Amino acid sequence: MPSLCHCEKEFIDVLATCADNGAEVNISMLCERLTFDVISKTAFGIDTGVQKNPDHQLFQTAITVLPNILEEFAYHTCQNLYSWPWLVRLLVKVLTKLLWDPVTEMRNKAKAVIEFRRQNPQELGTVEMIPIRYDTTRLALTYWFYLMGKHPSIQEKMRKEALDAYKLELPSLSPATFMLQTLEAIEAGIKNR
């Protein structure tokens, strides 16, 4: 996908500029701009140039409209209650007994779909879908950068593995054939997150 490659190149250029200037980087803000750039280019076909120009009107409007969960009361409260997941599970169980639970209903429907797919693999093609939300994507990217900075040996192993796999897939340039599940270090990093 050319638009994703363009976003990646701009992100690396912004990081290189910060490194050349010796400036301290707020990676959360850079990930926020990268996420907005990727979504605007791939989903809507709009090139905002927001990675190099964070003052773009559309970006500023989105920041104003979309709440930043890092600044919300609920986020800070949950940070302090991270060791109490049993309380949340208990609350969920009680509420699901009292109220209709759409997640359980969807889970039951998913079981039927999975069974159908196992019995009839020729009926449907595989469609991969990544549900994303602006803020969670930014937070996931920020956390990923934190982990890679903390463990440079794992970062180098993943980088080498991804580059080797990309070189093998380069002639086809089809994103459907480039599967992350075949990359052991990256798959382990995703599962251990």
Residue range 66-84: mean pLDDT, rounded: 63
Which two tokens mark 183?
A: 């990359």
Which sequence spans correspond to the domains of the chain? Answer: 69-99
CB neighbour class for 106 (10 Å; exposed up to 12, middle 13-18, buried from 19): exposed
What sign has the CA pseudo-torsion 119, 123, 128, 134? negative
89 vs 192 pLDDT, higher one: 89
Residue range 152-169: mean pLDDT, rounded: 78
Q: Note whether 59 and 48 are within 8 A (CB).
A: yes
Please, which pLDDT band fits residue 160 given cuts at 50, 70 and 90?
Answer: confident
CB neighbour class for 95 (10 Å; exposed up to 12, middle 13-18, buried from 19): exposed
Per-residue pLDDT tens over the stretch 111-141: 877 787 778 766 555 444 444 455 567 777 7
Residue range 6-28: mean pLDDT, rounded: 85
